Structures are given as structure tokens and as C-alpha cells.
Amino acid sequence: MNYTLNIHGRLLSLDKPCVMGILNATPDSFYAESRAQTEEQIALRAQQIVDEGGAIIDVGACSTRPGSTPVDEQEEMERLRLALTTVRRLQPQAVVSVDTFRPHVARMAVEELGADIINDVGSPDGTQREAMFRMVARLGVPYVLMTAEPTLRQTLLTLADEVQQLRNMGHKDIIIDPGFGFGKTVEQNYELMAQLEKLQVLELPLLVGVSRKSMIWRRLDITPEQALNGTTALHAVALMKGASILRVHDVKEAVECVRIMAALSPNSKL
């Protein structure tokens, strides 16, 4: 299906899958190469994402890696102020998403700093979900809805219920994320990937975030730094199964994967 996102009045087409590049304004995200804490590092990373063909810059300021302790809300806001101000100044036309589970951080990012999309992985204790729903409905920006459910059935049930909650609040632009690496064993991640096309029944754009995650490097007995090849293999599978957005560390390689997969389609727009 062809989808579009309303980005503050301009439409972002997803008729061809796009790449979301990760910019972590954190000192502790699991993949060190994605970290950018100083203004110079943030500027360089944002420029790299754009130069390599990324359609969206995804800025995070609070690590959600397994075992991490989230920073407090004030610290997350301060990190985002530096990162988003820098990105907006140097890449004014870029589509920018903010990776946060906190409603007040989402409000600040959109209203004060011009973020275009809220990418919500959910709070560690699950207490802020409904408040986030109300906030994004009020803000009216596209929203990435992630679930940490371990099986396809539970994923479908939870996403369908939460999508309906959002629609009842008047929210329209919803992107679904099955949450690879969250609340799942390595085996459950692969079971979900094998059936990923079944999420298309929800008739919503699908975001897949598997980049360098433990489901790859644990399976191959390697490190995150060695997991690019496995990541690209799973990106190809996700695209075949209907992914609209790939959230990645390695933008150039993901963009090339999208182009190769598009060439397999008789309706390719390359």
C-alpha cells in the first residue's frame, strides 16, 4: 500500500521505503558509532545521514538499550535542546523524529524545537503510554507506535487495540513498530520476522528497527560492530515483507538495500 505522512503540512511519501538514520545524543547507546554528544559531532552525524540518503533523522537523548538506566526528564530535555537546535540550524529541510517515551519531552520537542515525528518505544514501566497517546493526539504529528509483545498474535492484538485508542482520540498518522529487540528472546525475534507480512492487515506503515541488534550478533556470535552484514540481510527480508521505514545506524548501506530491492519490482520507480 502507498502511505504518506503529514509533516507540518507537507507530505512525505512512503510509496517507496525510506531510511531513518539514528543520531543518539547519548553517551551510552549500545552502538558507539551512533553517539553524538557535542555540537560538532551532532552536526557531522546529521550531515552524514542526509548525504547518504536518509529521509528522516531520528534523534534520541535517553538510551533504551537493555539493562540501561534512563536519565531523568530534565537531562533528556537538555540533550535534545542541543541536538535539535543544531540539526534544525544546519538541516532546516530535514524531517526530524524524536525518540522518547516521555509526553512532556515530546511536547517540548515538537512545540519548542520543531520536531516532525514522535518515535515512542514505550516507557520501561509502561506507565506513560496513555499520557503519550493524549499528547501526540494534541500535537497532531506522525507517531511511531511500538510494542514489546513477544509473539505475532500478541503484537497484532496490542497494536490493533492501541491504534484504535489513538484513532478514538482523533490521531491519524500512525506508524507501527513490532519492537525487535524489546521483550523478546532471540528466537522470538526471528519468529516475528518470519511472519512480518501479517502486520499489513493493520493497513498502516511499518517501521523496522533491527540495526546491529543482539538478535543478529548473538545469533552469529559476533559483536555489534561486526553486525552490518547480518543487519543488511534482515533489511532485505523486512522490505520483502512490507516495511515502509528502516531505522538504521548505517544509512548508505540501507539506502543501497532499498534500491536493490526496488529493482526486483516491475513497478520500480528507480
Active-site annotation holds for 184: no
Q: Provide the sign of the torsion angle of the four alpha carbons 61, 258, 3, 202, taken in this order.
A: negative
Give the separation between CA 240 and CA 264, rounded to whole angstroms: 10
Place of cell 523496522: 208
All residues at 6 or more sequence positions from 52 whose CB lies less than 8 Å from its CB, including other chains: 21, 251, 252, 255
Of 247, 252, 259, 269, which one is the catalytic site residue? Answer: 247
Of 213, 219, 259, 269, which one is the catalytic site residue? Answer: 213
The closest of 129, 125, 119 to 209, measured between CA atoms, is 119
Give the separation between CA 238 and CA 189, rounded to whole angstroms: 12
Give the separation between CA 197 and CA 223, rounded to whole angstroms: 29
Active-site annotation holds for 213: yes
Rounded to 10°, the helix 129-139/152-168 angle is 50
**The 56-60 sheet, strands edge to edge:** 174-177, 143-146, 117-120, 95-99, 56-60, 18-24, 245-248, 207-208
* Residues acting as catalytic residues: 213, 247
